[in-house]
Amino acid sequence: MNLEPFRIAVLISGRGSNLQALIAAQREGRLGGEIVLVASNRRAAAGLLRAEEAGIDTLTLDPGAYSDRASYDSALFARVAEAHPHLIVLAGFMRILDPASIAPWIGRMINVHPSLLPRYPGLRTHQRALEAGDRLHGASVHFVTAELDGGPVIAQAEIAVRTDDTPEALAERLLPREHKLLVASVRALAQGRVRLHAGGVQLDGMPLTAPLQLASDGELRERNQTVRE
Ligand code: GRF
């Protein structure tokens, strides 16, 4: 039996509600791993307080103290590596990353993004979904590659768009689903069920042809097995 905990580092820039969901899941034994470090590029990130309250080590590195992106990212990832994470989770980490710093972590770093990727990488995703007249919106968890919000998608949570939706209403309705999606995705990675292989996502050793779907019971399922809400 492998008794070594699955070590998780979480990178944040702000509120940290996704981080809070991970902390709660860990506390309740639903995460399958241990958050060993929370790192931020902003000292004022509210998520840092959540981490401190949970007794998790924190680290803030100010980009203003570095001459360019590459040197900042190299310093940040060197510090994160000292925590020996098996997985790095970008949970509202609002910076573009230098490809050289990402490279050693490919397959071991994920991001949660509030859209059904490949639709709407980048910002203002809720507004863009409304402007396009989408009937479905959602969130994605994907492996991080050098392409912004562009790595292989592991899993998605879908919500229906209502005719009277505003970007704020959509965001508010999506957020709890996003939290469940991230927790379930981290758990699947911690269990070794999901991995990046040959540029694609594998589940239990088999290539996925479409992202996993978050079902109403909070579990991830292959698309044709999804229990819709
Ligand atoms: C989330 O919507 C996440 O998908 C996006 O930034 C937001 C972060 O929220 N990347 P929080 O800091 O986890 O509350």
Cα 194 to averaged position of ligand 1 atoms, centre (Å): 22
Cα 190 to averaged position of ligand 1 atoms, centre (Å): 21
CA distances in angstroms from 56 to 7, 19, 179, listed in the order given: 12, 11, 19
d(CA 21, CA 139): 15
Lowest mean pLDDT among 112-121, 122-131, 167-176, 218-227: 218-227
pLDDT digits 0-9 by tens, 75-96: 999 999 999 999 999 999 999 9
- Residue 1: its pLDDT value, please? 56
* Residue 121, preceding peptide bond in cis (omega within 30° of 0): no
Q: What are phi and psi of 4, to 5 degrees?
A: -70, 125
Active site residue 84: no
Q: Over 90: is that where the pLDDT of 153 sits?
A: yes
- Residue 53: its pLDDT value, please? 98
Q: Please, are residues 10 and 38 in contact by the beta-carbon 8 Å criterion?
A: yes
Alpha carbons within 13 A on the beta-carbon side of 142:
24
- Residue 114: its pLDDT value, please? 98
Tokens of 54: 């949970």
Mutation to probe ligand 1, out of 17, 89, 95, 142 (largest number of atoms < 8 A from CB): 17
pLDDT digits 0-9 by tens, 100-137: 999 999 999 999 999 999 999 999 999 999 999 999 99
* 224 band by pLDDT with thresholds 50, 70 and 90: confident
Q: Which atom of ligand 1 sits closest to the CA of residue 15?
A: 12
d(CA 153, CA 118): 9
Mutation to probe ligand 1, out of 18, 23, 96 (largest number of atoms < 8 A from CB): 18
- Residue 7: its pLDDT value, please? 98
pLDDT (mean) for 177-205: 97
DSSP for 95-134 reads SPPPHHHHGGGTTSEEEEESS-TTS--SS-HHHHHHHTT-
Specify the pTM: 0.96
Cα 113 to averaged position of ligand 1 atoms, centre (Å): 7
d(CA 115, CA 136): 10
Q: Which atom of ligand 1 sits closest to the CA of residue 14?
A: 12
Q: What does DSSP say about strands 58-60 and 87-90: parallel, antiparallel, or unpaired?
A: unpaired
- Residue 2: its pLDDT value, please? 61
- Residue 219: its pLDDT value, please? 95
pLDDT (mean) for 182-211: 97
The distance of Cα 102 from the centroid of its chain, to the nearest Å, equals 15
Q: Over 80: is that where the pLDDT of 227 sits?
A: no
- Residue 202: its pLDDT value, please? 98
pLDDT digits 0-9 by tens, 6-63: 999 999 999 999 999 999 999 999 999 999 999 999 999 999 999 999 999 999 999 9
Q: Over 70: is that where the pLDDT of 148 sits?
A: yes
Q: Which atom of ligand 1 sits closest to the CA of residue 171?
A: 2
Cα 1 to averaged position of ligand 1 atoms, centre (Å): 35
Residue nearest to atom 10 of ligand 1 (CA): 92
Mean pLDDT, the chain, rounded, equals 96
- Residue 32: its pLDDT value, please? 97
Residue of 84, 86, 113, 126 marked catalytic: 113
pLDDT (mean) for 164-183: 98
Q: What are phi and psi of 111, to 5 degrees?
A: -135, 145
Cα 142 to averaged position of ligand 1 atoms, centre (Å): 14
Mutation to probe ligand 1, out of 42, 90, 109, 112 (largest number of atoms < 8 A from CB): 112
